[in-house]
């Protein structure tokens, strides 16, 4: 039956973490009197309508009675159900689902109250109904599924089964028989759930948790079964980083939470917009697990938890809009029932009756159609009526025919049972005769011949059994296994075949012998298979051994080669030791002479270059002085020209005294300059002569050195001819190559040694880290000894199905806790 998702809204009180409503402007909600709508005073003027709106002062019991109790009753009737809380962080989702105290009637949440109602419903059910209740508890943290009842099971995969639907592979399920056992499971799971403190919530849930109730019921009279599964989902709250102050790991958790909730919103949008052909259930593990809860076979209730303060107005508005969209989802819930054998037989009987009716109607129609085809006319009162009209008239006839057929089958069954009883009686009579014949054979040996005749008269069954045994023995021949069990089974068979009188072995004896043979054959197959596996393992080990031997041989050859090279090098060095010493001395002398000659030549060349540079500078100075003299000479020439012209014209005034004086001064300066130039030229000539003389001396020394060098080279060549230097050079080249090879081997060995040292250091660090990890794990193991002891004592007990029978309403006190015990949550 199609039905919309049930959506209720709940507003938590404002007195949380220092928040307060100082005036009416601080509140963002205005509840209407019909308790089904709410309007915000800030952010939007829209009115949001839900199935129910719970104000801030609503108690836990009121929320459960008006929104959850019906879903629990549906689960007991065989429907699937889902209840999940949605809202921003710190809006009271975990408080709504779990409560502050599991034993306090005022503050306990939906899950404890639901647990009590489930067991109360079982107690008030008819005594012919047998129930089994099992639970599971998991969380989705950072998009990884973890079993909270077995915390070591992390990152469990999701699988889809055609019969069971979407399920989490490897998730542990525990059978429950009382509410107290369920409370213990909740404490264990909640104790390992991931929580963290933020600015908005001191115990903020960092994961989505899903608590599952599975109730299976069976009618002990009819055999009919029904099952209902209830998902209780506590979603992690959506967060704004600027408000929560999340950073580091908390920030990464917030990203995963918001992404998962966004995927949930996308699924709801795809289900409600009427346009999407694809619903993205696989975008998140949360939506994948809750696939049947959103648009599938489930009766779903959504609780939207909101904050009433203006500081969270935007988040409250977003939460209410989410609830309105979710309310548009339609689910097709149906009872998960399996028919009993009697009901199936009744359906088969009805189907056979309908088939018989259809066949008779078809025959009538075919007869009438054939008559019309032949051109005959069928009277109207003989026309075949429609099947719907015949149903009312032939219903009684078909029912009576079915009853008669059933009565015939019952009579036939009774007759067969009577015949079976007669056969059994005859078998007992034959067995009694057999015993009598055995007694007669023991007491009267004279009657052995007639007995042998009777044995010969019936050889066929016994011979066939002997042949069958021989075939089995031949099939087992050649197998390298122990055949004692087979022979132990065959001996009674052969003995019975040879010693039996004229009656066959009993069927139970033959069946037992065949079972023993089959078990022995299975043992034979297992031993052959184990032999093959052992042979394969031996071949693999043999290959590894050969590889290690070849590697060892290669290393030994390499070691021998290096040893031989070292010995040859030592022999070569001993043979050419004297010639090598002379050659080294001669080479040393030649190198010293050449280096001395080069140093002297380079120093003298440098000295000459410096002198040439100095003389170049002096030449430049002389050229400048010459230019000055030329300029002065030109000026004197012009003055003399002017003076000569004045004398020729016969100027009465005569020459200018200033001009004459300049001319005299210029003549004096020119004379001095001439003397200076002459002096410098003389110095330059003397310097040039000394320089040329030094060059001649150095040239002579260079010639002498070259002659000495040629003489020493001649001596060196003579010495080489005397020492057979070619052979020595080849030996030295071989020795040098071997030395280079040894140096390369040494370098590789050094590198390998360095690598091994580095690997050893790294291995030591890893070993130390592993030792620290082992110590830490041992400490944790010691710290969890109590929990592990409890788990080991109750895990096997939890996997045992605990059937619960209805009809115990008078002992309802057994399902209700008597003493108030505090648990993990605190107010």
Q: Across residues 541-570, what is the average pLDDT?
A: 54
Token code pair at residue 336:
């998960």
Summarised one tens digit per residue, pLDDT across range 655-664 is 556 665 665 6
- Residue partners of 24: CB distance under 8 A and separation at least 6: none
- pLDDT class of 641 with cuts at 50, 70, 90: low
Lowest mean pLDDT among 208-222, 589-603, 714-728: 589-603
Q: Across residues 552-577, what is the average pLDDT?
A: 52
Please tell me the distance from the alpha carbon of residue 137 to that of residue 147, in angstroms, as a whole number: 6
The per-residue pLDDT for 146 is: 92
Please tell me the distance from the alpha carbon of residue 90 to that of residue 12, in angstroms, as a whole number: 9
With 70 as the cut, is the pLDDT of residue 301 above it? yes
pTM: 0.50
- pLDDT class of 646 with cuts at 50, 70, 90: low
Same domain, 171 and 197: yes
Asked if residue 377 is part of any domain, the answer here is yes
Same domain, 331 and 347: no
Same domain, 756 and 705: no
Number of domains in the chain: 5
Q: Is 415 annotated as a binding residue?
A: no
For 328, the domain range is: 2-336
Same domain, 329 and 345: no
Q: Please return the burial class of 314, using the count of CB atoms within 10 Å of its CB with bins 0-12, 13-18 and 19+.
A: middle
Q: Is 91 annotated as a binding residue?
A: yes
Find residue 84's DSSP bridge partners. 233, 302
Same domain, 350 and 325: no
Please tell me the distance from the alpha carbon of residue 786 to that of residue 796, in angstroms, as a whole number: 17
The per-residue pLDDT for 717 is: 66
The per-residue pLDDT for 555 is: 52
Asked if residue 260 is part of any domain, the answer here is yes
Same domain, 306 and 176: yes
Segments of 193-267 assigned E as strands: 195-196, 204-205, 208-219, 225-234
Q: Is 220 annotated as a binding residue?
A: no
Summarised one tens digit per residue, pLDDT across range 755-807 is 888 888 888 888 888 888 888 888 777 767 766 665 655 565 566 666 777 66
Question: Which backbone phi and psi does 318 adopt, to 5 degrees?
Answer: -65, -40
Please tell me the distance from the alpha carbon of residue 686 to that of residue 447, in angstroms, as a whole number: 169
Between 271 and 467, name the one with better pLDDT: 271
The per-residue pLDDT for 340 is: 75
Asked if residue 197 is part of any domain, the answer here is yes
The per-residue pLDDT for 438 is: 67
Pairing of strands 158-161, 204-205: unpaired
Asked if residue 425 is part of any domain, the answer here is no
Token code pair at residue 489:
């089974």
With 80 as the cut, is the pLDDT of residue 566 above it? no
Q: Is 96 annotated as a binding residue?
A: no
- Residue partners of 372: CB distance under 8 A and separation at least 6: 378
Which of 328, 355, 384 corresponds to the end of one domain?
384
The per-residue pLDDT for 529 is: 58
Q: Across residues 21-36, what is the average pLDDT?
A: 57
Pairing of strands 52-54, 47-49: unpaired
Return the half-sphere exposure (C-beta side, CA atoms, 13 A cut-off) of residue 118: 32
Asked if residue 32 is part of any domain, the answer here is yes
Q: Is 191 annotated as a binding residue?
A: no
The neighbour count for residue 388, using CB atoms within 10 Å, is 7
Q: Is 367 annotated as a binding residue?
A: no
Asked if residue 731 is part of any domain, the answer here is no
pLDDT above 70 covers what percent of the chain? 57
With 50 as the cut, is the pLDDT of residue 358 above it? yes
CATH number for position 291: 3.40.850.10
Question: Which backbone phi and psi does 10 adopt, to 5 degrees?
Answer: -135, 130
Phi-psi region of 713 (alpha: psi -120 to 50; beta: other; left: phi over 0): alpha
C-alpha dihedral sign at 479, 483, 489, 490: positive
Q: How many DSSP H helices and E strands does the chain contain?
A: 19, 20
Same domain, 692 and 777: no
The per-residue pLDDT for 810 is: 52
Dihedral over alpha carbons 270, 273, 277, 279 (to 10 degrees): 10
Same domain, 93 and 231: yes
Pick the closest to residue 28 from 235, 450, 315, 414 (CA basis). Answer: 315
Please tell me the distance from the alpha carbon of residue 87 to that of residue 684, in angstroms, as a whole number: 109
Pick the closest to residue 407 from 348, 415, 394 (CA basis). Answer: 415
Q: Is 223 annotated as a binding residue?
A: no
Same domain, 219 and 348: no
Q: Across residues 1-6, what is the average pLDDT?
A: 83
Same domain, 322 and 348: no
Pick the closest to residue 385 from 406, 369, 365, 414 (CA basis). Answer: 365
Between 632 and 365, name the one with better pLDDT: 365
Pick the closest to residue 77 from 129, 113, 116 (CA basis). Answer: 129
- Residue partners of 75: CB distance under 8 A and separation at least 6: 81, 118, 213, 215, 228, 229, 230
With 70 as the cut, is the pLDDT of residue 237 above it? yes
Same domain, 306 and 167: yes
- Written in H, E and C, the secondary structure of 91-127 is CCHHHHHCECCCCCCCCECHHHHHHHHHHHHHHCCCC
- Residue partners of 654: CB distance under 8 A and separation at least 6: 646
Asked if residue 442 is part of any domain, the answer here is no
Mean pLDDT of the chain: 72
Contact 41, 28 (CB under 8 A): yes
With 90 as the cut, is the pLDDT of residue 2 above it? no
Three-class secondary structure of residue 3 per DSSP: strand
Dihedral over alpha carbons 335, 340, 344, 347 (to 10 degrees): -60
Same domain, 372 and 306: no
Q: Please return the burial class of 414, using the count of CB atoms within 10 Å of its CB with bins 0-12, 13-18 and 19+.
A: exposed
Q: Is 94 annotated as a binding residue?
A: yes
Asked if residue 390 is part of any domain, the answer here is no
C-alpha dihedral sign at 175, 176, 182, 185: negative
Q: Please return the burial class of 719, using the count of CB atoms within 10 Å of its CB with bins 0-12, 13-18 and 19+.
A: middle
Contact 240, 257 (CB under 8 A): no
């Amino acid at each position: 039956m199609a039905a919309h998702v049930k959506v209720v809204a709940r507003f938590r009180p404002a007195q949380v973490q220092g928040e307060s409503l100082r005036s009416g402007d601080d509140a963002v909600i205005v509840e209407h009197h019909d308790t089904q709508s709410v309007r915000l005073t800030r952010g939007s003027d829209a009115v949001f309508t839900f199935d129910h709106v719970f104000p801030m002062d609503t108690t836990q019991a009121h929320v459960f009675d008006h929104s959850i109790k019906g879903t629990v009753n549906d689960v007991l009737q065989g429907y699937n159900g889902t209840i999940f809380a949605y809202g921003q962080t710190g809006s009271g989702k975990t408080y709504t689902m779990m409560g502050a105290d599991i034993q306090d009637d005022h503050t306990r949440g939906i899950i404890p109250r639901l647990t009590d109602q489930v067991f109360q419903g079982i107690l008030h059910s008819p005594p012919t109904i047998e129930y089994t209740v099992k639970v599971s508890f998991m969380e989705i943290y950072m998009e990884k599924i973890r079993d909270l009842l077995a915390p070591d099971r992390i990152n469990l995969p999701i699988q889809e089964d055609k019969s069971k639907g979407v399920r989490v592979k490897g998730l542990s399920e525990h059978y429950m028989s009382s509410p107290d056992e369920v409370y213990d499971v909740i404490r264990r799971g909640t104790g390992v759930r991931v929580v963290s403190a933020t600015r908005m919530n001191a115990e903020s849930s960092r994961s989505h948790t899903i608590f599952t109730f599975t109730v299976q019921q069976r009618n002990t009279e009819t055999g009919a079964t029904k099952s209902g599964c209830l998902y209780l989902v506590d979603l992690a709250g959506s967060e704004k980083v600027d408000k929560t102050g999340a950073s580091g790991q908390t920030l990464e958790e917030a990203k995963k939470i918001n992404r998962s909730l966004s995927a949930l919103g996308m699924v709801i949008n795809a289900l409600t917009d009427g346009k999407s052909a694809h619903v993205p259930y696989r975008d998140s593990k949360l939506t994948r697990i809750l696939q049947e809860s959103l648009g599938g076979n489930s009766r779903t209730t959504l609780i939207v938890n909101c904050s009433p303060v203006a500081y969270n107005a935007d988040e409250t508005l977003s939460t209410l809009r989410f609830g309105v969209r979710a309310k548009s989802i339609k689910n097709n819930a149906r009872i998960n029932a399996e028919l009993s054998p009697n009901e199936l037989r009744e359906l088969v009987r009805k189907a056979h009756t309908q088939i018989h009716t259809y066949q008779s109607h078809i025959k009538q129609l075919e007869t009438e159609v054939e008559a019309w085809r032949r051109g005959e006319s069928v009277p109207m009162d003989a026309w075949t009526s429609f099947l719907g009209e015949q149903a009312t008239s032939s219903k009684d006839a078909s029912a009576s025919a079915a009853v008669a057929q059933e009565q015939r089958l019952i009579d036939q069954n009774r007759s067969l049972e009577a015949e079976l009883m007669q056969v059994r009686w005859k078998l007992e009579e034959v067995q009694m005769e057999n015993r009598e014949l055995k007694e007669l054979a023991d007491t009267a040996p004279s009657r052995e011949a007639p007995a042998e005749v009777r044995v010969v008269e019936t050889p066929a069954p016994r011979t066939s059994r002997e042949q069958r045994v021989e075939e089995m023995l031949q099939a087992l021949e050649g197998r390298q296994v122990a055949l004692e069990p087979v022979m132990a089974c065959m001996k009674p068979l052969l003995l019975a075949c040879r010693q039996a009188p004229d009656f066959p072995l009993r069927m139970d004896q033959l069946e037992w012998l065949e079972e023993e043979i089959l078990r022995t054959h299975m043992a034979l197959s297992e031993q052959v298979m184990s032999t093959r596996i052992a042979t394969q393992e031996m071949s693999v080990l043999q290959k590894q051994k050969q590889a290690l031997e070849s590697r060892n041989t290669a290393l030994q050859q390499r070691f021998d080669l290096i040893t031989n090279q070292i010995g040859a090098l030592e022999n070569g060095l001993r043979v050419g030791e004297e010639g090598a010493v002379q050659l080294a001395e001669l080479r040393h002398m030649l190198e010293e002479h050449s280096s001395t000659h080069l140093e002297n030549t380079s120093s003298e060349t440098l000295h000459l270059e410096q002198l040439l540079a100095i003389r170049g500078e002096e030449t430049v100075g002389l050229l400048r002085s010459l230019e000055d003299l030329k300029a002065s000479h030109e000026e004197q020439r012009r003055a003399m020209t002017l003076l000569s012209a004045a004398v020729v014209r016969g100027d009465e005034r005569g020459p200018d005294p200033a001009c004459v004086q300049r001319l005299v001064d210029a003549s004096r300066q020119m004379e001095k300059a001439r003397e200076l130039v002459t002096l410098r030229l003389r110095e330059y000539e003397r310097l040039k002569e000394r320089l040329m003389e030094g060059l001649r001396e150095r040239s002579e020394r260079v010639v002498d050195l070259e002659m000495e060098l040629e003489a020493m080279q001649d001596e060196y060549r003579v010495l080489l001819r005397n020492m057979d230097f070619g052979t020595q050079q080849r030996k030295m080249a071989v020795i040098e190559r071997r030395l280079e090879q040894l140096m390369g081997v040494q370098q590789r060995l050094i590198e390998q040694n360095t690598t091994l040292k580095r690997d050893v250091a790294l291995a030591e660090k890893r070993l130390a880290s592993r030792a620290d990890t082992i110590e830490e794990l041992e400490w944790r193991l010691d710290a969890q000894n109590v929990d592990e002891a409890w788990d080991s004592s109750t895990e096997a007990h939890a996997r045992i199905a605990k059937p619960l029978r209805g009809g115990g309403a008078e002992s309802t006190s057994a399902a209700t806790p008597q003493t108030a015990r505090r648990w993990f949550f605190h107010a």
